[in-house]
Amino acid sequence: MQPLGETVTVGIQGANGSYSEMAVFEFFATGQGQQFKAIPSVINFDHSEQVCEALSNRQIDLAFFPIENSIIGNIDLNVDLLNQYPFTILGEHYLKIEHCLLALPSTNLKDIKTVYSHPAALEQCRDYLVKSNFQVVPSFDTAGSAKIIKPGEAIIASHRTAEIYNLHVVATNIQKVRNNFTRFFLFSHLEHNFLITNENKTSLAFTIGDGPGSLLRCLEKFAQYEINLTKLESRPIPDNPFMYTFFVDLEDSVKSEKMQECLKDLALEAQTIKILGSYPAGQK
Amino acid sequence: MQPLGETVTVGIQGANGSYSEMAVFEFFATGQGQQFKAIPSVINFDHSEQVCEALSNRQIDLAFFPIENSIIGNIDLNVDLLNQYPFTILGEHYLKIEHCLLALPSTNLKDIKTVYSHPAALEQCRDYLVKSNFQVVPSFDTAGSAKIIKPGEAIIASHRTAEIYNLHVVATNIQKVRNNFTRFFLFSHLEHNFLITNENKTSLAFTIGDGPGSLLRCLEKFAQYEINLTKLESRPIPDNPFMYTFFVDLEDSVKSEKMQECLKDLALEAQTIKILGSYPAGQK
């Protein structure tokens, strides 16, 4: 493995104190990112597209995106972006999500009328919000909402957000399921050639032909080569209404001989194949 | 077919002038809904959950939900709700979506700073919004935003919204792909027993066992009985991080002999099976 050097710039969507920022630090300090022996310097962007543009223009070394949540499913926008750009996944990380209700120190629970947060966080806490009869306002960011909070308002974000912005933790663990994880991907530009070791998982995107049974024949290739499929998702192809790109996660490295043979075989059936990356599996 | 009578109450999420309301009228007047020979009376709700609760309590006869869009994919919340409640799908409808930028008659394009709409509509028009450098604010509703619009602001909604709320159409067809369709489901409570004819499509939800290859063995059942699968989606099971419920659309009626045999066979492999409904396919 080639160490990246002292500091690497890592682009995220969202403000400091966001779950993405927490995940970056956890990944490099205690997760699979330890192999990089690097100190991440987080660069914040308002939108995921801006992170991708910055990586594309080499203004940042790496990017870190939430890709899937165990309650609400895929973060579709980020899945689509990964598929559109010439990027490659280098790592995977699972972050435990514990949503808190945060307010200004002067605000008590009974004073709270309005709650701001990212739609994904609002959805994960929907039962709590409905029961409490709060007015709910979507925003682009969990932690970013901390900057605009007023008396009588609250936001949903992490403990870390409370510390950074001096907010009062009114309630903790308010998501509807205690076991709430978000899965993140670390990725670089394809041409960056970071060397990683211990890849044992591969993510692919493929499209299929028109005829019936084409998807099944593609999936049978993985079974034939005894490559375990841990995930299957579909996303629409916008120019082709109700046609889909399929995303699969496979338990093997793209460098293994059987994966190489499987991909050659898959290419005979699939219309297009894109290798999104091969990386060491994150710990759940 | 048993006609429903003169008027049926149909619950939708969103205000009058929303795409859901347009789709209801189109479905009953010119789509597969003609067989009901009924006049829909639309009942508006703020949230999809409220529509489901009202249907569950028999306060409304039917409900009508957007389920999938050809640009952004599944409307996950509505897919999950359909799977949670004892409802059955009676019909399918495809509505062509043409997003417009709407403002007060006194506002010109150059005065517009802020644009409100449902996150799905904002995402479908992202390229246009970024190019125009508007500040974008998510709201729960396309048409509902019309009620709060001020000078210097705009909303993204339909031509019909402009007519209902006396707004000025500043720009038309602003979504990133011209061919933009949303697929809707009409559904009732399972116990309602509405009789429909010409069902040629069936939607199923199923979960699979733990072992490798279980999904593949389920999909092979459909192939074995020559039942064409037109869609495959997965949704997380919140209590079981990174386990999935699979949703499939099949080109056959649930009443057909081969579908009945196939379902019996599928039950040997799948952990759970839920028939979401069998209905006449909508016209694209």
8 Å CB contact of B71 and A235: no
Distance between CA B276 and CA A143 in Å, rounded?
38
A-chain residues within 8 Å CB-CB of B123? 77
Q: Which of B49, B71, B239 sits opposite A177 (nearest CB)?
A: B239
Q: Which of A61-75, B135-149, B158-172, B255-269 has the lowest mean pLDDT?
A: B135-149
Q: Do domains B7-97+180-192 and B101-171 have the same CATH topology?
A: yes
Reference B26, options B166, B133, B162, B182; nearest CA is B182
8 Å CB contact of A242 and B181: yes
Q: What is the pLDDT of residue A2?
A: 46
Q: What is the pLDDT of residue B142?
A: 83
Distance between CA A106 and CA A59 in Å, rounded?
41
| pLDDT (tens digit per residue) in A86-104 | 999 999 999 999 999 999 9
pLDDT-above-90 percentage for chain B: 68
Distance between CA B149 and CA A233 in Å, rounded?
38
Q: What is the pLDDT of residue B5?
A: 60
B51 has pLDDT over 50? yes
ipTM: 0.80
Quick one: fold of A100-171?
D-Maltodextrin-Binding Protein; domain 2 (3.40.190)
A-chain residues within 8 Å CB-CB of B130? 49
Residues facing residue B195 across a β-bridge: none
Q: From residue B120, how far is each of A76, A145, B12, B46, B74 by CA, in Å?
A: 11, 21, 16, 16, 10
Check: CB of residue B173 under 8 Å from CB of residue B55: no
Q: Which of A179, A231, A234 sits opposite B233 (nearest CB)?
A: A234
- Please tell me the CATH code under which domain A7-97+180-190 is placed: 3.40.190.10
B-chain residues within 8 Å CB-CB of A139? 138
B241 has pLDDT over 60? yes
8 Å CB contact of B244 and A231: yes
**Residue type, position A282, single letter:** G
Residues 6+ apart with CB under 8 A from B143: B14, B15, B16, B17, B18, B21, B157, B158, B160, B161, B164, B165
What does the mean pLDDT of chain B come to? 91
Give domain B101-171's CATH architecture.
Answer: 3-Layer(aba) Sandwich (3.40)
| pLDDT (tens digit per residue) in B154-197 | 999 999 999 999 999 999 999 988 889 999 999 999 988 777 88
Residues 6+ apart with CB under 8 A from B110: none
Q: Would you write out chain A's pLDDT as a tens digit for each of its 284 residues?
A: 445 567 999 999 998 999 999 999 999 999 999 988 889 999 999 889 999 999 999 999 999 999 999 888 888 889 999 999 999 999 999 999 999 999 999 999 999 999 998 888 888 898 899 899 999 988 877 888 898 899 999 999 999 999 999 999 999 999 988 889 999 999 999 988 777 889 999 999 999 987 778 889 999 999 999 998 888 989 988 888 888 899 999 999 999 999 999 999 999 999 999 999 999 999 88
Q: Which helix (H) or strand (E) holds B9?
A: strand B7-13
Q: What is the pLDDT of residue B22?
A: 95
Q: Would you say domain A201-279 falls under CATH 3.90.1330.10?
A: no
8 Å CB contact of A72 and B236: yes
| Pairing mode, strands B39-45 and B7-13 | parallel
- Please tell me the CATH code under which domain B7-97+180-192 is placed: 3.40.190.10
B16 has pLDDT over 60? yes
Q: What is the pLDDT of residue B2?
A: 45
Q: Which CATH superfamily is domain B202-279 in?
A: ACT domain (3.30.70.260)
